[in-house]
Amino acid sequence: MSNNQLDKKSSAWSALFSEPMSELVQRYTASVSFDKRLWQVDITASLAHAGMLAAQGIISTEDHAAIVRGMQQIWTEIESGAFVWKQELEDVHLNIEARLTQLVGDAGKRLHTGRSRNDQVATDVRLWLRGEIDAIAELLTALQTSLLEVAERNVDVILPGFTHLQVAQPVSFGHHMLAYVEMFSRDAERFLEVRRRVNRLPLGAAALAGTSYPLDRKRVAKELGMHDEHGAPQLCRNSLDAVSDRDFAIEFSAASALAMVHISRLSEELIVWMSQNFSFIRIADRFTTGSSIMPQKKNPDVPELARGKTGRVVGHLMGLITLMKGQPLAYNKDNQEDKEPLFDTVDTLKDTLRIFSEMIGGQLNPASGQKEGGIVVYPQAMEQAARKGYATATDLADYLVKKGLPFRDAHEAVAHAVKAASTHQVDLSELPLAVLQQFHPAIEKDVFDALSLRGSLNARNVSGGTAPVQVRAQIAWHRERLC
Ligand code: ARG
């Protein structure tokens, strides 16, 4: 076959067509500009398919050897940048197959026996996504470790805990960090659960109905690592479903959107905490930018961008789920639109996780073996802020309950005390004992222990609570889990 013939896209489906595609339609339908990213998994899956075809006697061992040789060369060509991608060959699959045939002749043409691009692309996307999930899981571990390190150093630092962004009760800053560790650990769990459903083999479904060749699907699944934890091969069980549904990509996208939402909440807090009115923390200069007009500015661009990019990842979830809606069985070209949102989701999430691990936990300095340049915490500013909003009012109510008052009565008495204190612009702990006793006679000298921030913290010694002894126990538990 001449090169010229191979270059013509019509070579993929032959004589039926009486006119060539216009350049616009070609550009509109081609996906190679973005799906070439799948080249490694495409070759890997093709080699597994070819090995099985040979083992089953469907192609000869000579043809198999030629396919392996050709694919090795193509791999090198793509890696070195020498491979010429052609839009007229539409997608990654046809580009690689055409080059294979150019290199090894008829053996290349036999590769597609018992296969369709429909089961091929579904296999490729699954294999690619599986690898990305593994990378994301590692990045999530790194981010959790960074947060855990900050938590460890700040167990005894007191932060005003907020509800409705109003000072509520004092909490340990370490405890606050652990809340994010919990969120990201659930994200990691979610990705692992999605991975199980991603890691199933569509090949063998062919175009939609299966194939008449005696394929050994289990062999291909095993070869591609598509098995469960006991080594049992995982196959898509229904050929129509195998080529058509992209629910695995939608699930992945939903898990990514949630992870980004968690990052976005953290971003919002970092932004607030580093504003002048709070000054609770500082992040390293390399994650901030200046202003072109206001010389004093250091803007938290990285957390702001992460918050903004969350919108884009959530948007991809909407795009993918809408893509599926209304598609009849089985494969439809709509599905080609799954790739760009998926790729962008993976890129955005991975970059964000990487940058956050470093921004929070710092960068390893090989000379000292220490991480440096993570977030800097200002305990005094946090504690001062906690003193402002009557953060220990609940503790006074609890104190009265321990003296025998029903909680609702205690709540009411303390409300009066807070009102009086705020009129005089002092904290509850700054009211003289005699004044406090006007709100309830049961109040005695020991009330001041309850009114201290640290006393309040220590008192929340329930499992999952913010008492430093509990926070230390939680840190130890996470350490064990993450190691
Ligand atoms: N590029 C296509 C995609 O991404 C490959 C499958 C094409 N199949 C087809 N019958 N046109 O979905």
CA of 29 to the centre of ligand 1 (A): 10
- Tell me phi and psi for residue 282, to 5 degrees: -135, 140
Annotation marks residue 256 as catalytic = no
CA of 31 to the centre of ligand 1 (A): 9
Annotation marks residue 275 as catalytic = no
- Please list, residue by residue across 155-175, b when 16 or more beta carbons sit within 10 angstroms of its beta carbon and e when fewer do: bebbbbbbeeeebbbbbbbbb
Q: Taking a C-beta distance cutoff of 8 angstroms, is the pair 50, 356 a contact?
A: no
pLDDT at 13 (0 to 100): 64
Q: What is the mean pLDDT of residues 284-297?
A: 85
**pLDDT category of residue 16 using cuts at 50, 70 and 90:** confident
Q: What is the pLDDT of residues 242-284, one digit of tens each?
A: 999 999 999 999 999 999 999 999 999 999 999 999 999 999 9
Q: What is the pLDDT of residues 206-226, one digit of tens each?
A: 999 999 999 999 999 999 999
Q: Is the pLDDT of residue 286 over 70?
A: yes
**Token pair for residue 173?**
């800053």
Atom 11 (ligand 1) nearest CA: 333
Q: What is the mean pLDDT of the chain?
A: 95
Ligand 1 probe mutation, 123, 333, 335, most atoms within 8 A of CB? 333
Residue with tokens 């370490």: 174
352: left (phi over 0), alpha (psi -120 to 50) or beta: alpha
Ligand 1 probe mutation, 25, 95, 112, 117, most atoms within 8 A of CB? 117
Looking at the CA of residue 339, tell me the nearest atom of ligand 1: 4
CA of 110 to the centre of ligand 1 (A): 19
323 lines ligand 1 (CB under 6 A): no
Sign, CA dihedral 241-243-244-245, equals positive
**pLDDT category of residue 479 using cuts at 50, 70 and 90:** very high
Q: Taking a C-beta distance cutoff of 8 angstroms, is the pair 271, 303 a contact?
A: yes
Q: Which ranges of 105-246 would DSSP assign to H, the alpha helix?
A: 106-110, 117-153, 173-198, 217-223, 239-244
Closest CA to 89 of 68, 53, 117: 117
Question: 483: burial class by Cβ within 10 Å (0-12, 13-18, 19+)?
Answer: exposed
Q: Which H/E stretch holds residue 57? A: none
Confidence (pTM): 0.94
Atom 12 (ligand 1) nearest CA: 336
What is the DSSP track for 2-24?
A: -HHHHHSGGGGTGGG-SSPPPHH
Q: What is the mean pLDDT of residues 30-34?
A: 98
CA of 170 to the centre of ligand 1 (A): 57
Q: What is the mean pLDDT of residues 454-461?
A: 95
Q: What is the mean pLDDT of residues 148-174?
A: 97
333 lines ligand 1 (CB under 6 A): yes
Looking at the CA of residue 331, tell me the nearest atom of ligand 1: 10
pLDDT at 333 (0 to 100): 98
* Domains defined for the chain, CATH in brackets: 24-113 (1.10.275.10), 119-372 (1.20.200.10), 385-477 (1.10.40.30)
Q: Is the pLDDT of residue 11 over 60?
A: no
Q: What is the pLDDT of residues 69-82, one digit of tens each?
A: 999 999 999 999 99
Closest CA to 303 of 265, 341, 277, 333: 265
CA of 237 to the centre of ligand 1 (A): 21
Q: Which long-range contacts (CB under 8 A, 24 or more apart) does 100-104 make?
A: 100/67, 100/70, 100/71, 100/74, 101/1, 101/6, 102/3, 102/6, 103/69, 103/70, 103/73, 103/74, 104/66, 104/67, 104/69, 104/70
